[in-house]
Structure formats: structure tokens, C-alpha cells
Amino acid sequence: MFRSKIALALVLASSPLLAQNAATAPAQRTLVRAGHLLDVKTGQLLNDQTIVVTGSTIQSIAPTASVPAQPSDTVLDLSSLTVLPGLIDVHTHLTMNTDFDPFREVTSTSAKEAINGVANARTTLMAGFTTVRNVGAYNFVDVDLRDAINAGQVPGPHMQVSGPLIGITGGHCDENLLPFQYHTVGDGVADGIPAVQHMVRQNIKYGADLIKMCATGGVLSKGDDPNAAQFTLEEMQALVADAHRLGRKVAAHAHGEQGILWATEAGVDSIEHGSYITDEGIAAMKQHGTYLVPTLYLEDWMIQNGHLPAFYQQKMLDVSAVAKANIRRAVQAGVKIAMGTDAAVYPHGLNAHELDVYVNQIGMTPLAALQSATLNAADLMGWTAKTGTLEPGKWADIIAVEKNPLDDIRTLQDVKFVMKAGVVYKK
């Protein structure tokens, strides 16, 4: 007993010293030795740079010659590669897959979609996309996926999630495949101002980081017209007002011109797709500072590889016939662009093909395309202080490729190294 008391006293006496030593011990560093570092703000390529990472964030960036390694450092040799910030996709559906057979759609379950999400989150991260917005998932499965990633249970990108899509009865965001006798209604269906306000508040209650609404009909939905506005202007205004008051941004699925105009007037933060946009819509988006999120590579992939039911296929062909020319005009007019893919309409992991379309089909410069997936995407998400560039204090979200993407944007389709929040997932 006497010796036990002495031992306890020694432990108690030493506790302040142990705490002091722990507090003063230098944080372990990871040195990322970059052969070339691309500044996505200016397009400047800096040679022989070292990014010092501590914990989840970037501590400093300096010429390699001025950053000698310390004995406790971890050194990552990327001297043969070009390093840049992790990419951002602001329009994904990680809990869904490229399979639009109606029977599969109506027999899916939350458990299946959760499994999809775990697999697709890893695939997306390994493709170099360290941050995504997930704009639509059933039963708040994307909330659970985000939380599992944040808790370190599964690998995946940083996520902002919307939960269920909010839309009208019979619209793009409803469940329209089953007949009346089943009385099936989509998770986010709301008609009229009070119902729309309730749905916004309910989504936020259950964990949504942003609100996704369907302002027009869509392509991969039965019985609606992508050109037709769905919510009224007044419903959209109520939805946006509630979302913004409660600190959430709003993404509006909108193909047709009237829906684009009303959603923009209502104050949404982004128009998703924008396929039938006209000069009037372009002017309105510029006036309001609204982002356009094109989703164009899916058209190429679907035409070449897709196997859609007839009631989807014709709409896909119709939209594909006009979207790229319209988006090109919007880009030339100076509408703000953030990169989105609609991944799930084509296989996850091919996200960077979107940038190839921006450069080689709609005329964006490689730097502007890259900025749409870094600077602009971070701005749209409200995460400029966290990601989008390689700067001290931001997340250590770092990727590396073999070539300068400004010389060949397609090099981003083959990412060799991925670090997210200071953790290496691919090297």
C-alpha cells in the first residue's frame, strides 16, 4: 500500500511536466517535395518547391533548397511530377450508379445506396477529387456518408450534401415510375409555398449542407419536359429565402430557359446544367453573379455507352444537340463557371473528363477550366478559406500528375498522387 501511494504521488507530480513536454514538442511534419508546383490563380509553374504539411493543413510553401529535412520529418518525393490542389466537383451523386433500368430504380434501398456511396467516394478521391458537393440522395444517405468520411470510417472526399432533391409532384425530383396504386412520392416533393418552406427546414434538420431544387424538368425522369419550369417563381423565392436565412446555399437543377430565369431571379447560387440557356438567361446570371455548373461529358459518354429506356433516350439526344453551343455562349459572355459532372450518369472516377470537354469542345482556356475545378468551385461552396489553392492554413489537399495540365488538360485523367487533409491515399 505504501509503495502504491508513492507511485501515485510520482505520477501526479510528473503530470504537469508531461503535459508541458507534450505541448512544446514540435508537430511532426510531412515534406512534399514537388518538382513543379502549379499556382492555379496565375498559371505560374514554380520549380523545386516544398510544401510543409502539419496535421491536416499546409504550414508553408518554399523553395526546396530552403527547407532541409529534420530527423522526424516524413519526406514525399514528387520531384518528377507536377503538384496542384486537389480537384473539386460540385455536382455528384455518390450514392447512385450508372444503371437506369426502371426495375433497378424502383427496387433500390438505402442500404444499397450506402454501399454505392462507400465505393464511389473512394473511387472519386483516388481520381484526384478531394472535395465534392453531393446534390441529391434518397433518405439522407449522403448525410451518413459524409459523416462516415469525416469520422475516418471510410475514405472519401470532403463533402457538402443536399439530402433529398426538392421538387414538385410529378416533376424531375419525384418518383414517377410506379403507377397510381402504389402512391409512391419522392422524398423531397413539395407543392406550394408552405410545403416548400417545410421541406427546406426538414432537409436542414436532418443534416443538409445545401439545398438542391428542381426548377425544370429533367432528362432521366419519366413524363416531364426539361424545357418546362416546374416550381413557380414565388415558390422558388420562398425556398431560396428560407435556405439563405438558415445559412444554406441553393443549387437549382435547370435545363429550360424559364426555369433558369426564375431561379436566377429568386437568388439561387448556381444553375446546374443550363442546357437551353439563352442570351436573356446569360444576362440575368451575369447580373446576379450566379454560377453555371455545366455537366457536359455525360452527353458524350451516354451517346457512346449509355443504354437508356426510350423515354429517357430521346430527351438525352435532344439536350445533347443544343447544350454545348449554349454553354459556349455563356462562357464567352463571362458567366461564372464551376465544374460539375453529374457523376453517376456516367461512371464515377471519370470526373476529370469534364475539363477536357471545357477546353476542347467549348473553348475554355486550360487555366480557366482548371480554375472552375479549384478556385471557382471552392468559392461556390463557400470554402475558399479551406481549399481550392495550395496556401498556408488551407487543407493539405494535394494531387500530382505527370505533366503540366495547362499544356495537356487530359493529364488530370491520370492522377498519380493524392493527399487529402494531410493523409496520403495514393502514391
Confidence of residue 18 (pLDDT cuts 50, 70, 90): very low
At residue 341 the predicted structure's pLDDT band, cuts being 50, 70 and 90, is very high
Give the pLDDT confidence score for residue 302 in this predicted structure. Answer: 92
Residues 273-320 pLDDT 10s:
999 999 999 999 999 999 999 999 999 999 889 888 888 889 999 999
- Separation of alpha carbons 240 and 43, rounded Å: 36
Q: What is the pLDDT of residue 322?
A: 95
Which of 187, 269, 342, 397 is labelled catalytic? 342
Q: Provide the pLDDT for residue 167.
A: 97
**Mean pLDDT of all residues in 240-265:** 98
Q: Are 396 and 72 in contact (CB under 8 A)?
A: no
Query: Are the C-beta atoms of residues 145 and 117 closer than 8 Å to each other?
Result: yes
How far, in Å, CA of 99 to CA of 399, rounded?
30
Confirm if 29 and 52 have CB atoms less than 8 A apart: yes
| Of 174 and 324, more confident | 324
Q: Compute how many other C-beta atoms are within 10 angstroms of the C-beta atom of residue 418.
A: 24
Predicted TM-score (pTM) above 0.85 = yes
Q: Is the pLDDT of residue 19 over 70?
A: no
Largest CA distance in the chain: 88
212 is catalytic: yes
Instruction: Express each pLDDT in 38-69 by its tens digit.
Output: 999 999 999 999 999 999 999 999 999 999 99
Q: What is the amino acid identity at position 122?
A: R
CB 118 within 8 A of CB 160: no
Scanning 127-232, the segments in alpha helix (DSSP H) are 141-150, 193-205
Residue of 89, 142, 212, 242 marked active site: 212
Q: Return the H-helix or E-strand segment holding 424.
A: strand 423-426
pLDDT top residue among 10 and 322: 322
Higher pLDDT, 295 or 106: 295
Q: Give CA separation, 224 vs 16, 168, 196, 362, in Å.
A: 68, 11, 20, 28
Catalogue all structural domains in the chain, each as residue range(s) with its CATH number. 8-85+390-426 (2.30.40.10), 87-381 (3.20.20.140)
Which pLDDT score is estimated for 26? 61
Rounded Cα distance, 226 and 87, in Å: 29
The rounded distance, in Å, linking the Cα atoms of 190 and 194 is: 9
Place 3 in a pLDDT band, splitting at 50, 70 and 90. Answer: very low
What does the DSSP assignment read for 100-111? --HHHHHH--HH
pLDDT number for residue 179: 83
pLDDT value at 222 more than 90: no
> What pLDDT does residue 108 have?
86
pLDDT of residue 20: 43
Query: What is the per-residue pLDDT for 12?
Result: 41
pLDDT interval class at 114 (50, 70, 90): very high
What the block records as the C-alpha cell of 226 is 426539361
The CA distance from 375 to 155, in Å, is 24
Pairing verdict, β 249-254 and 270-273: parallel
Handedness of CA 96, 197, 265, 276 (dihedral sign): positive
Report percent pLDDT > 70 for the chain.
94
pLDDT at 21: 44
| 342 catalytic residue (yes or no) | yes
Does residue 17 have a pLDDT over 90?
A: no
pLDDT, averaged across the chain: 92
pLDDT for 202: 98
Task: Say what the pLDDT of residue 14 is.
Answer: 45
46's torsion region: left (phi>0), alpha (psi -120 to 50) or beta?
Answer: beta
